[in-house]
Amino acid sequence: MSKKSFIAIVMALMCIVLLAGCSSPPADEAPAAEAPAAEAPAGDAPATEAPAADSFVPASEIVAPAGKTLLALPVDQVSDRPIKIATIMVQNNPFGAAVLQGQNFAKDVLSDRNATVDCLSVEDFDAQKWVTVVENCIASGYDAICYMGLSEAMQPVTDKGIDAGILMYTFNAEPGNDSKRIAYFGQDCVIGGEIVGAELEKAMGGEGKYGIITGDFSVLSHEQRRTGARSVMDANANMSLVGEWMNNDKAEEAYTLATDMMTANPDLGGIYVTAGGPSGAAKAVADAGKAGDVKVVCHDVLAESAPYIADGTIQACLDQDPFNQGYHPVIAAFNQLVAGVAPAELNWYEGVIATPDNVKDLFPELF
């Protein structure tokens, strides 16, 4: 072989090697600069991808917290787009904390269905604070807003949300009686007040002096309960109202008001607490040595009030299911957004009346 022929063969072989090195990798082979798929944390998906359609916990396998009954279950599907739901409640009393428990449970239930639930709180019943929070939610582009309706002051912002294409669901109180809100979740507060008023009248034997402690005169649900109870007791000439006071849903304020009430009226026969803080009124009665003599009636069987019901300091308590007031509207909003399943306009919670005789059977989780 000549020297020229040998050089030509060597050069040809070098070209073949270079061409092989520049060719693209096979379709199933990751480029060298990228980490192999096996190195990514197991189960993690790229942030831009929706959860797999079969990656959620089926509704049939969702277990309610102890002592709770789920009034709704999510549809068995994952949203094909990220959805955002805001849920808003005051957090200045144990009832608000019980609502938050339901909101957080709904958040957990929907976390694997491509839905984000933000649980927001307002510090008190100042209507302007509530309007501001809802306005911010509207501006933030939430798909649904679930909130305590509070009062007529909330009607304009409620209607604004509807006009912006947002699902507006209310619970516990209506945002006025003529808003565009889609659905309401909770008790008929007028009827609730009538029921508890009748319980107080019965406990007092149909006669005597009583006082009312309400949360806030500006909150529609509180007013409906107060006037509902008054409609029962005002019809009885033997029932005498000594006064009505506001405790801002706080137990410590209810304690002071009840103490002052008993001091000014040594023959006081009963106290009705329309909203938050009944444990404060019950403690005042117990501390005064008048448990059983001054009858206390109220709403909401909570950890703070349950012991006073059990020992007879509180004669009757109408529960309004705060857990589902937090949980139910959020799940209903998800179902409407994802599957077009709209809830009933009015979702009434009948509730149960807890007494010293049945409270431990009805709410064993509190004892």
- Distance between CA 252 and CA 322 in Å, rounded? 21
On the question of pLDDT at 32 being above 50, the answer is no
Model's pTM, two decimal places?
A: 0.82
Domains 70-187+322-350 and 189-319 share a fold: yes
Residue pLDDT, tens place only, 192-232: 999 999 999 999 999 999 999 999 999 999 999 999 999 99
CATH number of 189-319: 3.40.50.2300, 3.40.50.150, 3.60.20.10, 3.40.640.10? 3.40.50.2300
Q: Give 53's pLDDT tier (boundaries 50, 70, 90).
A: low
- Give, in order, the Cα–Cα distances in Å from 232 to each of 18, 98, 156, 197: 97, 29, 33, 6
Domain-wise residue ranges, the chain: 70-187+322-350, 189-319
* Choice between 24 and 309, residue whose per-residue pLDDT is larger: 309
Give the tens place of pLDDT for each residue, 288-301. Answer: 999 999 999 999 99
CA angle 265, 269, 271 (to 5 degrees): 90
Q: How confident is the model at residue 11 (pLDDT cuts 50, 70, 90)?
A: very low
**Which residue has better confidence, 246 or 20?**
246
Q: How many CA atoms lie within 13 A of 256 on its CB side?
A: 8
pLDDT for 249: 94
Q: Which amino acid is at 297?
A: V
Q: For the domain 70-187+322-350, what is the CATH superfamily, name and number?
A: Response regulator (3.40.50.2300)
Tens of pLDDT, residues 57-95: 999 999 999 999 999 999 999 999 999 999 999 998 899
Quickly state the pLDDT bin for 55 (edges 50, 70, 90).
Answer: confident
How many Å apart are CA 298 and CA 9, to the nearest integer?
Answer: 101
